[in-house]
Chains A and B, each alone.
Chain A
């Protein structure tokens, strides 16, 4: 197949299949949460019912530009996932994802609602908290593979996580923030919980909320994809290669759900302090170790 055609197939596959995976993972999230709480939980396909119902709601809005921001956010989230699938520059993927977040934040701030605005402010502070850690993760990968392109991760002979353990742990730490799970679900919380009513997403309804849901699904797939980068090489057991990257990603997801159900929400100041102390500290330690080990 010509490379362009192959790329087009990859893009289509990603755009169409990723939300399905994201939705199923969300469904698993809700069932697991319910079982941990001693409940029965909704059916597995519940997130899909939710999104379809939201699409069918009346199209109300609070101002004229909300839909625009939400769709921009979706576009750029999809774009960053597509870039990831096409194995582009990892640092740029992080920045394009940041664009998606900013679009949502601006959309939330464009409404004159205190819940929405305060949620947006908290979301901005959250971005400030986790962005350094993620960029350091990318830099750590660069220090080992010598390239920012994702190709080089797959070409590298050993598992990245063996030399980036602290960076991996820091990434798990900020994954909690990005997935909006306790203890860091400060700007808006996911289903079943409320924070600032619905915080960032309070004034979005119907189709707009469905688009935000889809954005979260694409982002979930992207984040789990980033985890697989740490375990990119298959482990051969009895002659069968097992792609443990995917397994670790699912494991991390389950871990996040468990943490969500154990912890209470923290305050903004605490989150900022702990993310920088623990998350940034761990990542910086790892980078310095790498820097000293590989030499200049």
Chain B
């Protein structure tokens, strides 16, 4: 285990984005930061800024509008990065899957590394998911060789 890989696993910084969640998963996610569950033990800090973050926690399903935003945030994160879909809405679209504006889970928009199902998942489950994401992060290559992993940008015309 090299120092770099070790550090990446021991210092995952998260950014949390709510797509169209009912905020139930958000509350549970943010509860992880409280003294009750205390994810800072793992070195996790909620930076609000994709440029500083390693792990993107997404709640809520993707729709036409927040697909642009989600892709934007994902693109601004530097490699190596991992995405965790929290809650069944983020995984597959959940209870809102059949709505006219919903595209489905967020894997319709960006590549997802870990799925944490539940409506809403308990903080313990979320922590388990993040720990799995850490393993994925540790396995990712040094970012020098990742020119090809950039997401295709959709150029939509606006009025």
Q: Give residues in A with beta carbon < 8 Å to B.
A: 30, 34, 37-43, 46, 48-50, 52-53, 55-60, 191-192, 194, 197-198, 201-206, 209
Contacts and interface: CB of A to CB of B under 8 A. Distances in A.
Given A46-B10, A49-B7, A204-B51, A40 B143 contact: no
Given A34-B38, A38-B35, A202-B51, A192 B79 contact: no
B80 interface: yes
A43 B79 contact: no
Contacts of B38: 34, 39-41
B155 interface: no
A191 B79 CA distance: 21
A38 B37 CA distance: 11
B134 to A, nearest CB: 11
Given A50-B11, A52-B4, A57 B41 contact: no
- Which DSSP category, helix, strand, loop or mixed, fits chain B's interface? mixed
Given A37-B35, A39-B35, A206-B78, A56 B49 contact: no
Nearest to B79: A58
A48 B76 CA distance: 24
B78 A53 contact: no
B78 A57 contact: yes
Contacts of A49: 6-7, 10-11, 43
Interface in B67-104: 76, 78-80
Contacts, number: 89
B45 interface: yes
A191 to B, nearest CB: 5
A259 to B, nearest CB: 20
B43 A46 contact: yes
Contacts of A55: 4
B3 interface: yes
A52 B54 CA distance: 13
A205 to B, nearest CB: 4
Nearest to A41: B40
A142 B42 CA distance: 48
B23 interface: no
A194 B64 CA distance: 29
B11 A205 contact: no
Contacts of B3: 52
A192 B41 CA distance: 12
Interface string B35-69: 10010111101111101101000000000000000
A192 B40 contact: yes
A191 B45 contact: yes
Contacts of B79: 57-58
A194 B46 CA distance: 9
Contact of A40 (B6, B41, B46, B47): B41
A250 to B, nearest CB: 23
Interface in B84-134: none
Contacts of A197: 48-49
Given A59-B143, A204-B51, 18 more contacts: A39-B40, A42-B42, A48-B7, A49-B6, A52-B11, A53-B8, A53-B11, A56-B142, A58-B78, A58-B80, A58-B143, A60-B51, A197-B49, A198-B47, A198-B49, A205-B51, A205-B52, A209-B52
A56 B141 CA distance: 10
B40 A56 contact: no
Nearest to B50: A205
A209 B13 CA distance: 13
A56 B41 contact: no
Contacts of A59: 78, 143
A43 B41 CA distance: 7
A58 B145 CA distance: 10
Nearest to A208: B51
